[in-house]
Amino acid sequence: MTIVYGKTPNYGQPIGILMLETHFPRVPGDIGNATTFPFPVVYKVVKGADSNRVVLQADPALIQPFVEAAKELVAEGCRAIITSCGFMAIFQKEMAAQLDVPVVSSSLLQVPLVSSMLQPGKKVGILTAKASSLGERHFAGVGISHIPKVVYGIEDTEFGKVFFNGLDHIDIALAEKEMLAVAEKMVGENPDIGAIVLECTNMPPFARAIQQKTGLPVFDIITLINYVHGALVSPQYFGHM
């Protein structure tokens, strides 16, 4: 006889995602579109956390609202917490210290792993929502200050305007074209880049196009979430010898 015990109202969704309070469109591939994932995820909006407070202000007053929302997701059965903005890297240590489940504040947590895969002398290329706002405090937050890297932003593109102006529509074809232009410029000006990490959680819909255009491995928040999910829900293997 197999006895199963429970303690939460819901089951089967180990990944909890903390969303900013936004309303711009989130297409498949975006962290905010549940069809992006081949497994269930749970969302919770952090009230008052908008793009300006997170990206431009790096407002430390947001730490506790994020932590409290995360605790609610953990109480509902989530076993890992993800944030929907890579700029939350600046608060990685503070959030992880208050939660007893793994915390993924940013896609940038992958940078050390990616760098260790590369030939000596190769750099990690980081595409971000706003290059001028992504700085040393964010790098220190996720332990990548010492890693050779270059950072390029998409803040001057139409895609950037959708994100920062909170528009309710997006031209996907134009967004892809502009994203590719920035990626090509970054790699063209830095031929020693060995791989690309997308900081922005709205960029994964374009990862495949960037990969094909540059010929480089592309890592993003979705590759990281899939990695974490695999650690939480180990697959059962079938085969033959």
State pLDDT tens for residues 110-129: 999 999 999 999 999 999 99
State pLDDT tens for residues 155-198: 888 888 777 777 788 889 999 999 999 999 999 999 999 999 99
The dihedrals phi and psi of 41, each to the nearest 5 degrees, come to: -130, 160
Pairing of β 80-83 and β 41-45: unpaired
Spatial distance between the Cα atoms of 240 and 228, rounded to a whole number of angstroms: 27
State pLDDT tens for residues 49-68: 988 899 989 899 999 999 99
Spatial distance between the Cα atoms of 13 and 84, rounded to a whole number of angstroms: 17
Spatial distance between the Cα atoms of 92 and 103, rounded to a whole number of angstroms: 7
Spatial distance between the Cα atoms of 221 and 202, rounded to a whole number of angstroms: 9
Q: Which two tokens stand for residue 131?
A: 């290059």
By percentage, how much of the chain surpasses pLDDT 90? 83
Q: What is the pTM of this model?
A: 0.94
* Structural domains of the chain, with CATH: 15-106+225-232 (3.40.50.1860), 107-220 (3.40.50.1860)
Beta bridge partners of 42: 16
How much is the average pLDDT of 134-138? 96
